[in-house]
A and B are shown apart, each in its own frame.
Chain A
Amino acid sequence: MPTARTPGIWKVITASSVGTLIEWYDFYIFGSLATVIATQFFPRTNPTAALLSTLGTFAAGFIVRPFGALVFGRLGDLIGRKYTFLLTLIIMGLSTFAIGLVPGYQSIGFAAPLIILLLRLLQGLALGGEYGGAATYVAEHSPDNRRGYFTSWIQTTATLGLFVSLGVILLIRHTLDSDETKSIAKFNDWGWRIPFLISIVLVAISVYIRLKMRESPLFARIKAEGKTSSSPLKESFVHKANLKMVLLALFGATMGQGVIWYTGQFYAQSFIENVCKIDFDQSRTILIWAILFATPFFIVFGGWSDRVGRKWIIVAGMFLAVVTYRTLFSALMSISDTAHKTELAEKQERKTTLNFITKSTDAIRTSVTKKYFDDGTIATETKKDTVYADSARSTLKPDIRISRKLGGGGYWQMVLIVFVMIVYVTMVYGPIAAFLVELFPTRIRYTSMSLPYHIGNGVFGGLTPFFATLLTTIYTGDKLVGLTYPVIVGAICIVICILYVKDNRHFSIDNET
């Protein structure tokens, strides 16, 4: 594409970005509602349902996503970008809508978790095909000297999809009844279906917009000249010249980018909720604010990469993350730690209730203690144990849950820390679409860039919360030990990127070889 301005580029960006954002939204609402979905469809008491749950969790992200990249990438290089990423959008939209309609395990038994698993796998498959198509489509419409800037709009969609999914869930969770407790109960019962059902409207709008778009000019030209690849998979992964670029893209960029993305946005939220014990709503609104403030930086770094190159911005983002993660996560723990705060003892509240167990003289005792601190933090400790009629018996290990609600100062400090981590995400992720499309020729671009992207993000990135949590269970003495995984993967990626990656920003992607 020449360096002249392309007319209609904003229509291309809007049509591609809206669809991709909706796909990310669809994919994330399932993850965000995993607990509710588990109780509706995957009761742990039924081993088959539990097994399907495990398969859904692990297979959708780690196997089906890269598989979708191959299936739809190949299709995109054979029949074109436009119809392929239209297809992925329709598959994603229909699967998401259908999840909202499936009756629960109580109604249709074993069929419920099976249908949900299949629909989740379809979601993963569609996601695997969407991103590469959208990024390729925008890049092939962009002038060479502004490719980083224009493709960075596509890069905002994954984070904004997460933002919209969190926002929609919080909004619906609190608006189903004027009484907050009843509203949450209604949400857990049937309200969780609304975010899935809404998706069909969004997808319909997006499909309508995408239908009006034309094929990518570069692909349309090679197709007219009969120069499309007849076997994109073989050409991408068997021919040495392309395979070495696929490997470089994976180990020198997307692998590190994936772990930074998932640490900054998913592991940070999980850490705030589970380690810092911040309550459900606050742990999500902290992320929402941080995303809102940091998202413009995708565009800033994408645009800047047109001037200074993709490589060094990506390396800088990974380097800053690797060097500062421990300090940042340590600060999150420190902010939430009530040992450093002064308790307002006169305000302490304690309430104990006894609920007798049906057909038994034993009872469940629930003691709720609310402590107030000088900085506005409220810590709630809920302790449950069994009071036995036989006084000689007592609960060996009472169930104790702690939930903290931060005061204004601490809350905004956490927003600032998560904001910094998401700025790192914008540095590594903002320029990556332009970086990937520049590595491969038009005839196999969709296939070749999709696979390393989805292995980097789906496998390396998607496993971040799991491996981080696993490390904390093995090495129990250090609550920050989970960061070892993203730090090591990030550090290896930095070395490979510095040593082997070339800055291709001045290259024309208008090539067929």
Chain B
Amino acid sequence: MNTLRRFAGILWIIAGPCAIYYLVSTAVSEISKKPVTDTKIQWIVFVVVFLPIAFGMVIFGIYAMKGEYDKET
């Protein structure tokens, strides 16, 4: 089980940048569809808020991969 936990850590490390890529590309697409201030502000807020969360996901993945959560289960 610990091997699975560590292996899954790689998934969480990848998930962070993937989520940001998806968010930024959606933001660009939505802003270009409707380039008004309202749209820009809301998407900038989303990207700014989700960046540290995605970074947190990467750290979580690193901890999982290093076995930091092994003893917690």
Contact = CB atoms under 8 A, between A and B. Distances in A.
Contact of A500 (B30, B48, B69): B69
Q: Interface extent on B, as a size class?
A: 20 to 34
B60 A51 contact: no
Nearest to B48: A63
Contacts, number: 66
Given A54-B38, A54-B41, A54-B42, A63 B49 contact: yes
Contacts of B45: 58-59, 62-63
Contact of B49 (A243, A459, A502): A459
Interface residues of A, number: 27
**Majority DSSP secondary structure for residues of B touching A:** helix
Nearest to A57: B42
A246 B57 CA distance: 11
Given A59-B45, A244-B69, A463-B46, A51 B38 contact: yes
Contacts of A455: 53
Contacts of A500: 5, 64, 69, 72-73
A63 B42 CA distance: 12
B31 interface: no
A499 interface: yes
Contacts of A247: 56-57, 59-60, 63
A72 B22 CA distance: 33
Nearest to A458: B49
A63 B48 CA distance: 9
A499 B8 contact: yes
Nearest to A59: B45
Contacts of A54: 37-38, 41-42
B59 A243 contact: yes
B23 to A, nearest CB: 10
Interface of B: 4-5, 8, 12, 15, 26, 30, 37-38, 41-42, 45-46, 48-50, 53, 56-57, 59-60, 63-64, 68-69, 72-73
